[in-house]
Structure 1
C-alpha cells in the first residue's frame, strides 16, 4: 500500500477551459428515476438573467434544502411560500423534515400547485424566485437559504453503469470492475486495547456476518471490530421520502439491481470493501459504520449531512462523559458531488458539517472522485477551504495504480491533498452476492461432486474481491493517518484542541516518513 502527498498546499483554481459537464458521473435513467434525480445540463435549463451559467451537477428535482431559520420562522416561511405560489409550484413546508436537530437545513418537498400542470423542478423554481418582482420578490438573504439537494455518488470504479441503459452525464470509467478472488494470507491479529481508535465509515454498511470481522450494535458496548447504530438507521428510515428502499437498517439488500437480469447491484458491498481495507491495515481500530449510501451508489445530501452531525453529536456527548456515546477519531467519506456554482466554491450545510468535525479535532478523509476530472468534488474539495489553525485537517484522496502512477479514473487537481493505492485492491466482500453472469465454460467433474468451470465473474461466496476506486484509496489514507495518531495517543480523553494537535502532528510525521 502506498501513500503520496501533494507537494503543494491544497487550493481551488478555476479552470476556464473545463467542459461544463466535466466531473458529472454517468448514471442510468432508471437510477436517476429511482431517486427523483435529474442532471443539470447548462444548455438545457432556465437560468436567471445576468447570472453566470451554471455547470453540471445532479440533484433531486422535487426537493429543496431550506435553512432551519426559515422553516422555524413563521414570517420567513410565509414569505417564501408566497413567492413560490405564482410559479405553479408549491413548497410543502409543513412536511419539511430534519433528521438530526441542528443540522442546519430542512428537506422540503416541492409539488405542483393544486389544479396546476406545471412541471416540478427545484432548479427552475430557484431561478424564478431570483427573478420575482413585487410581492413575489424575496430579499437576497432569504434566497441564499434555499438550495438544491444534490445526489452524491460513491467513488468506486467499474466498467460503466450496467443494466444495458444509456448513461446520463459527462464522465467515463477506465478500470475493470470488481471480480471475486480468494484471500491467501490471514487477516492480521487484533490486539486487546483499553482505548480503541475509532474510524467512522459512512457508506453502504457491512454484513452482520463475515469471517474477517465481527459486528455489534453500539448500544451493546462490545469490543467488536465493527459497531453499527440501529437507532440512527431507524431515524433515517422514519424521515425517508424517496421511492428507493429506505436505509432503515445497518445492513439490508437488495443484492441485485432491480431488473430481470439479476446483476449484483453496482455498489453492493462497497462499505464492506472499505471496512476490510481498514481491517488489513489498522486491525486494532474499531469501525463505526453508518449506512447512508444506497446499493446503486447514490446518497442524499440531506442524509449525509445528518450522519456527519450525528457523529459530531456523539463526539461531543462522549467528551461530556456520556458512557454510551461513540467517540470517533477519524471520519471516512467515499461519496461526493460537483457543485453547480461556476466558481466551484460551495459552502452550505454539508460544508458546515464537515468543518464542525474538523473544529472538534476530527480529521475527515474523503475520496476525490473517479470522473478523470480536475473539477472540485465535494466534500473532498473542502480540503482547499480555509480552516482555523486549531481545526483538524480535511484530506482529499486520489487513487494510485500499484506502480504508483495516478490511476486513469482518478480525479486530480490543486485541491487534492494526497494519493493512495486505489486500483487492483483485494478486500472483503459480502458472501451472499451471487449474480446471473455465468462462467464461460462448465462441466461436471468426473472425480468430485462438483463442477469444473472457468472463473465465475460474479460469485462472491469466497467473501473477497478485487476492486478499484478513490473510494478505496480514502480508507487506506485514513489507515495511515489513524495508525500514526495511535502512535502518539497520550491516553485519556482529548478536548478539541488536543485532538486537532494530535492529528496535525501525525500528519507531519507521515509526510516526513513518506517523503
Structure 2
C-alpha cells in the first residue's frame, strides 16, 4: 500500500489559471479540456457538453469552460419555491419569457410538504432543488437549455441589482463521472478519454483500460477475509467511512445490515437512499436510482455487456475492507452503473450526513450516525473561469463537514490533466487545512499513473493502478472465453478446459485501475489511523464527539499518516 502526501499541498485550486506553466508547457488554464461522454449516456440523463465556442454568453461575461450539465433543469434554493417568494419567482419567469422559457416550479414538491416518514435535512432548509425548464406555450418549439437560461438570468442581474443576490444562488446541475478506467479508450464509449487530447495517438493512458494491463478483469485471491477485531476490544465504536457510489453487490467479505447499530462491515443507509429516491420521483427525473443493492446492469440488454461502472461500489468497499478491516462502511448509492452522479443527489447525501454529524455532536442522535471519513470517487470540471466564482452550495456543505471534523477524500480524476476537478480541488478551509483530500493514482511500483490528473491541487497519492479487490459474485457478462472445449461437464469429472472468461466474476475478485480506487485507500488509511490514535492516546477517543475534539482527532490522524 503506497500513500504519499504533497508537502506543498495547500495551493488554492481557484488560482490554477493564474499560475505560470511549467517550462515548455502551456499554462494550466490553457490546457485542452478533457470533458466528454458518449452521446447515448448524455441522452439517457438529459445532459449536454457545454462548449466554449458555441456557448451563449452576455456582454462582459467570461468565456465558460467545458463542463457536462443537465439541459432541462436549474438548481434553485428551496426558499425560492415558497409562497413568500412568489414575487421573485414571477420576476425570474418574466426574464426567461424573453427567450421562450419558464421555470415549472409548481411541479416541485417542497421538502416541507414531504411525509414525516421521509428523513430530510433540517440544518440546510434552503437546499438546492431541481426545477424543470419548459418552453412557454405559443413559443417557437426548441429544446430548453439550462445554460442559456442561466446566462439570461445573469445578464438581467447585471443591470438589475435587486435580483443579483438571488440569481447568484442559481446553479446548473452538473454530472459527476466515476473515476475508473474500463473498456478500450480507442473506441467510443469511454467517458474519461473520449476526445481526450492527451490520449489521442498516445498509447500510455490507454493501456490501463485493457484487461491484463489494469482494466477491469476477473482474478482470484488465495487468502481469507482480513480479520476484524471484536467491537468491545475497540472501545465500543469503529471509525465510519461513508462510501457514496454504486451500492453493494453480494460478496462474502461484505456482510451488510440496514441498522447503523449492527456490527456488520457495511451499513446500508436505506433512510438516505429512499430520501434520494423520493426527491428524484418528485422532481420528475427520468432515471431514478433504485435501492442500495447493486444488481447486474448491462450497457445494452440485447448484447449483455456489463455496464461501465457495474461493481464499482463493491470494489471500493473491498479496498476499505483490506486496508481498514476494523472500520465500518456506510454505503449510499448515488452513482448510476454508467458512472454518472447527479450533483443534486450528492448535495442531498452530504447535507444528510452533515445533519447526522451535527445531531450526534449536539446529543440529538446516537453515536452510530457519526461519520469520520467520506470517500467519493467521482468529479466534474467547472464551467467557471478561474477568476469568477459563482455561489456553490457543494463547497458550503463540504466546508461545514470539515468544520465538524469529518475528513473528505475524493478522487482527482483520470484525464491526464492539470485542470482542477471538483469537489477534489475545492479550496482549503480558512485555517489552511484542505477541505478535501484529493487523491491521485500511483502505479504498483510507486510511480505516478499515466492516466492520473495532477497539479498542486492534488494533495496526496496512493496506489490506484491494477488494484485487486472485491467484485459482486453474481456478475457474468456476455463475453466468453476465447477457447473452450465443446463438451459439457460430466458428473464426477473435472471442469471443462477453457481460457479465462473476461467478464465472469464468480471468483468475487477483480483487478481495476483509476483514481476511483486510490481515494478509498486513503480514506481507509485515515480510518485505520483514527483507530490507532484512539488506542494509543485516550485523549483521541472515537467516542468523544465534541466538535473541537473531532477536529483535533482528524488533524492528528492526518499528521500521523504523513500529511
Q: Which TM-score bucket, shorter chain as reference? A: over 0.9
Worse-matched range after superposition: 333-342 or 136-145: 136-145
Q: Does 1:456 align with 2:507?
A: no
Worse-matched range after superposition: 115-124 or 135-144: 135-144
SS in 2 for 1:381: coil
Gaps of 5+ in 1: none
Distance 2:41 2:285 in 1: 11
Match of 2:98 among 86, 93, 104: 86
Distance 1:42 1:372 in 2: 21
Q: Match of 2:409? A: 365
Is the 1:392–1:501 Cα contact (8 Å) retained in structure 2?
Answer: no
Q: Match of 1:230? A: 270
Is the 2:182–2:190 Cα contact (8 Å) retained in structure 1?
Answer: no
Structure 1 residues 9, 390: CA separation in 2 closer, same or farther (over 3 Å shift)?
closer
Q: Match of 1:186? A: 224
Q: Match of 1:27? A: 37
Structure 1 residues 318, 218: CA separation in 2 closer, same or farther (over 3 Å shift)?
farther
Structure 1 residues 46, 414: CA separation in 2 closer, same or farther (over 3 Å shift)?
same
Q: Does 1:499 align with 2:550?
A: yes
TM-score normalised by structure 1 residue count? 0.92
Worse-matched range after superposition: 180-189 or 362-371: 180-189
Q: Match of 1:5? A: 5
SS in 2 for 1:75: helix
Q: Which digits, 9 at most, give the CA deviation of each residue in 1:253-304, with x for residues without a partner?
A: 3521134221101001111111001000100111000110000000100010
Worse-matched range after superposition: 196-205 or 1-10: 1-10
Q: Does 1:470 align with 2:515?
A: yes
Q: Match of 1:322? A: 365
Match of 1:44 among 50, 54, 73: 54
Is the 2:178–2:379 Cα contact (8 Å) retained in structure 1?
Answer: yes
Displacement of 1:115: 2.9
Structure 1 residues 161, 308: CA separation in 2 closer, same or farther (over 3 Å shift)?
farther
Structure 1 residues 215, 124: CA separation in 2 closer, same or farther (over 3 Å shift)?
same
Q: Match of 1:218? A: 259
Distance 2:447 2:439 in 1: 14
Q: Which digits, 9 at most, give the CA deviation of each residue in 1:133-175, with x for residues without a partner?
A: 9999973222212111100111112234799559665465531
Structure 1 residues 147, 78: CA separation in 2 closer, same or farther (over 3 Å shift)?
same
Distance 2:88 2:57 in 1: 24
Distance 2:511 2:349 in 1: 28
SS in 2 for 1:442: coil
Is the 1:366–1:396 Cα contact (8 Å) retained in structure 2?
Answer: yes
Structure 1 residues 169, 351: CA separation in 2 closer, same or farther (over 3 Å shift)?
farther
Q: Match of 1:95? A: 107
Structure 1 residues 133, 473: CA separation in 2 closer, same or farther (over 3 Å shift)?
closer
Is the 2:77–2:127 Cα contact (8 Å) retained in structure 1?
Answer: yes
Q: Match of 2:339? A: 297
Gaps of 5+ in 2: 20-25, 112-119, 200-204, 210-214, 535-539
Q: Match of 2:168? A: 144
Match of 2:300 among 249, 258, 261: 258
Q: Does 1:74 align with 2:86?
A: yes
Match of 1:122 among 133, 138, 146: 146
Q: Which digits, 9 at most, give the CA deviation of each residue in 1:72-99, with x for residues without a partner?
A: 3222222212211221011012223566
Q: Which digits, 9 at most, give the CA deviation of each residue in 1:460-484, with x for residues without a partner?
A: 1111100011010001111221111
Q: Match of 2:442? A: 400
- Paired residues, number: 508
Is the 1:131–1:137 Cα contact (8 Å) retained in structure 2?
Answer: no
Distance 1:78 1:474 in 2: 44
Please give the residue correspondences for 1:340-419 in structure 2 after superposition, counting only pairs within 5 Å.
340-343=383-386, 347-382=391-426, 385-389=427-431, 394-419=436-461
SS in 1 for 2:130: strand
Displacement of 1:321: 4.3
Q: Match of 1:439? A: 481
Q: Match of 1:484? A: 529
Distance 1:412 1:498 in 2: 33
Q: Match of 2:136? A: 113
Structure 1 residues 258, 145: CA separation in 2 closer, same or farther (over 3 Å shift)?
same
Distance 1:239 1:79 in 2: 26
Displacement of 1:130: 2.9
Match of 2:310 among 265, 268, 272: 268
Q: Does 1:153 align with 2:177?
A: yes
Worse-matched range after superposition: 391-400 or 373-382: 391-400
